């Protein structure tokens, strides 16, 4: 009987060992494990739910918010639209550092609750001032750094870029989808209804965190936490921080002028998604066919620098279009090229940041990264409007091209983290 009991115990142990081994991929494998696929899909869905709610509001905010009491104050209207980026930028670092100390999931749930609360405040806002309060609360739910850090914790270096690309793809698709859905939904439920939907989507994200996202790795829970100074002295991370600031400043600044160029080319604003949606979707195919295979062969730096240079050339192309006859086909090609470069950078930059950062300060490092990203949105929107108003569209695109050139020079000396999956070309 004892032998049978021991035999049964050994069989059970063998089954457990076999089950655990199936989660251990071959050395240098670029195939995701089941846990990595689950982590990538669930965390990408959190970004998607949150960003869809946010993007649905943006295409119609300025027109609908102008109908509120106090909506004739354009300065207040602009502040209500942009305050989200400011509070988001100010709180990314504290949320990232808190996730290092208290755990990623707790901080993500707290941030989504704050974001949902801000959405419901905005939905019930009787005046533009209360709408501003709601928007600032939405921004205060700054969970991007914690979500990205958790994704880095749950994936290996070999598949990190692929996981980050899934997040980037979800954000890009939500942006394109919002351009189609927002004008339709706002006629049915109005701006308050869109904010209610935003809050509900945030609460849906909490259920994903609690029941779908894999548990945080045990080895990260008890390790000593590093200091913020480690992040600020890291040359590679600071190069990436400069880059993410420039990229998102340029992205938002160019959108001050691109819609007007499309209208000048003969495309009504209601049909702009005809250009945006194919450009975004097709660019994902280009990213998948270039970034991942070239990264495996050790060409990540070359792809990265090429994407920066491509966006610089796109800005020069927009400058040429703004200086002469605006052609719809040319604008469509330029937008396609922009999204190709943008999506490659959106996937590779956070992947490199998470791999360069020591694990004990990963949340803080990605907090700094996301802070610069949010501040880039804020500066890009403010400076883009100022440049167009005072110096014209050509000056805007010239400034964007110059900013990308500066980034290219800063990034030139960067050494990407070694890829364990590197193969011979």
What's 246's domain CATH number? 1.20.1250.20
Q: Is the pLDDT of residue 116 over 90?
A: yes
Chain CA centroid to CA 294, Å: 22
pLDDT at 399: 96
State pLDDT tens for residues 260-316: 888 889 988 778 778 888 888 898 888 888 887 887 788 888 899 999 999 999 999
Tell me: do 251 and 187 sit in the same domain.
no
Same domain, 218 and 232: no
What's the pLDDT tens digit per position in 32-58? 898 999 999 999 888 888 877 777 787
Same domain, residue pair 171 and 267? no
Best CA proximity match to 85, nearest among 198, 199, 252: 252
Q: And the tokens for 235?
A: 């040359």
Of 181, 201, 223, which closes a domain?
Answer: 223
Q: Can you give the pLDDT at residue 28?
A: 60
Cα–chain-centroid distance for residue 69? 33
Of the residues 223, 239, 271, the one at which a domain ends: 223
**Residues 409 and 289 reside in one and the same domain:** yes
pLDDT tens column, 342-379: 988 988 888 888 888 887 788 888 888 888 888 887 78
Given a contact cutoff of 8 angstroms between Cβ atoms, the answer to whether 339 and 280 are in contact is yes
pTM, rounded to two decimals: 0.73
**Is there a domain that residue 9 lies in?**
no
Which of 196, 223, 250 is at the close of a domain?
223
Two tokens, residue 370: 């996301």
Is 186 part of a structural domain of the chain? yes
Rounded to whole angstroms, the Cα distance separating 173 from 55 reads 11
C-alpha closest to that of 408 among 315, 325, 280, 312 = 312
Per-residue confidence band for 396, with pLDDT thresholds at 50, 70 and 90: very high
| Structural domain span for residue 211 | 34-223
pLDDT at residue 25 in the model: 60
Q: For the segment 154-177, what is each residue's pLDDT rounded down to a tens digit?
A: 998 888 878 887 887 787 778 777
Cβ within 8 Å of residue 306, ≥6 positions away:
none
112 near 130, Cβ under 8 Å?
no
Q: Looking at the domain assignment, is residue 291 inside a domain?
A: yes
Domain count, the chain: 2
Quote the pLDDT of residue 199: 93
312-337 average pLDDT score = 92
7-35 residue pLDDT tens: 554 444 444 444 443 455 655 667 889 89
* In a domain? residue 283: yes
Q: Is residue 1 part of a domain?
A: no
pLDDT above 60 for 226: no
Q: Are residues 115 and 134 in the same domain?
A: yes
Q: 272 and 365: one domain?
A: yes
Q: Give the confidence band of 394 by pLDDT, cuts at 50, 70, 90.
A: very high
Q: Work out the mean pLDDT of the chain and round it to a whole number.
A: 82
Q: Is the dihedral of CA 13, 16, 18, 24 positive or negative?
A: negative
Residues 233 and 361 in one domain: yes
Residues 279 and 307 in one domain: yes
């Amino acid at each position: 009987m004892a032998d049978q009991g021991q035999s049964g115990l050994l069989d059970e142990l063998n089954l457990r060992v076999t089950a655990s081994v199936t989660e251990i991929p071959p050395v240098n494998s670029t195939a995701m494990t089941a846990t990595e696929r689950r982590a990538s899909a669930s965390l990408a869905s959190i970004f998607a739910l949150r960003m869809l709610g946010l993007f649905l509001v943006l295409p119609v905010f300025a027109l609908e918010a102008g109908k509120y009491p106090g909506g004739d104050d354009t300065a207040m209207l602009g502040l209500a639209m942009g305050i989200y980026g400011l509070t988001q930028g100010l709180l990314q670092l504290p949320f990232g550092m808190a996730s290092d100390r208290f755990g990623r999931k707790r901080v993500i749930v707290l941030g989504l609750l704050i974001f949902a609360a801000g959405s419901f405040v905005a939905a019930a806002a009787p005046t533009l001032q209360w709408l501003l309060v709601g928007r600032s609360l939405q921004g205060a739910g700054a969970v991007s750094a914690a979500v990205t850090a958790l994704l880095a914790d749950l994936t290996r270096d070999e598949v990190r870029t692929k996981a980050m690309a899934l997040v980037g793809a979800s954000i890009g698709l939500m942006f394109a989808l919002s351009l189609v859905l927002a004008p339709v939904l706002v006629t049915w439920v109005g701006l308050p209804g869109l904010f209610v939907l935003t809050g509900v989507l945030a609460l849906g994200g909490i259920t994903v965190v609690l029941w779908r996202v894999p548990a945080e790795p045990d080895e990260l829970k008890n390790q000593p936490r590093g200091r913020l100074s480690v992040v600020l002295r890291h040359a590679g991370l600071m190069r990436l921080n400069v880059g993410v600031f420039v990229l998102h400043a340029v992205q938002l600044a160019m959108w001050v002028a691109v819609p007007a160029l499309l209208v000048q080319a003969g495309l009504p604003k209601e049909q702009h998604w005809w250009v945006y949606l194919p450009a975004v979707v097709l660019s994902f195919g280009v990213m998948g066919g270039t970034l991942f295979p070239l990264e495996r062969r050790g060409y990540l730096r070359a792809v990265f620098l090429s994407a920066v240079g491509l966006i610089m050339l796109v800005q020069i192309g927009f400058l040429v279009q703004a200086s002469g006859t605006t052609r719809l086909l040319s604008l469509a090609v330029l937008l396609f090229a922009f999204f190709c470069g943008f999506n490659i950078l959106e996937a590779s930059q956070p992947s490199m940041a998470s791999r360069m950062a020591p694990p004990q300060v990963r949340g803080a490092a990605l907090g700094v990264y996301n802070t610069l990203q949010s501040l880039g949105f804020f500066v890009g929107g403010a400076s883009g409007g100022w440049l167009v108003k005072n110096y014209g569209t050509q000056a805007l695109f010239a400034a964007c091209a110059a900013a990308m050139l500066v980034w290219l020079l800063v990034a030139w000396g960067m050494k990407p983290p070694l890829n364990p999956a590197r193969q011979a070309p």
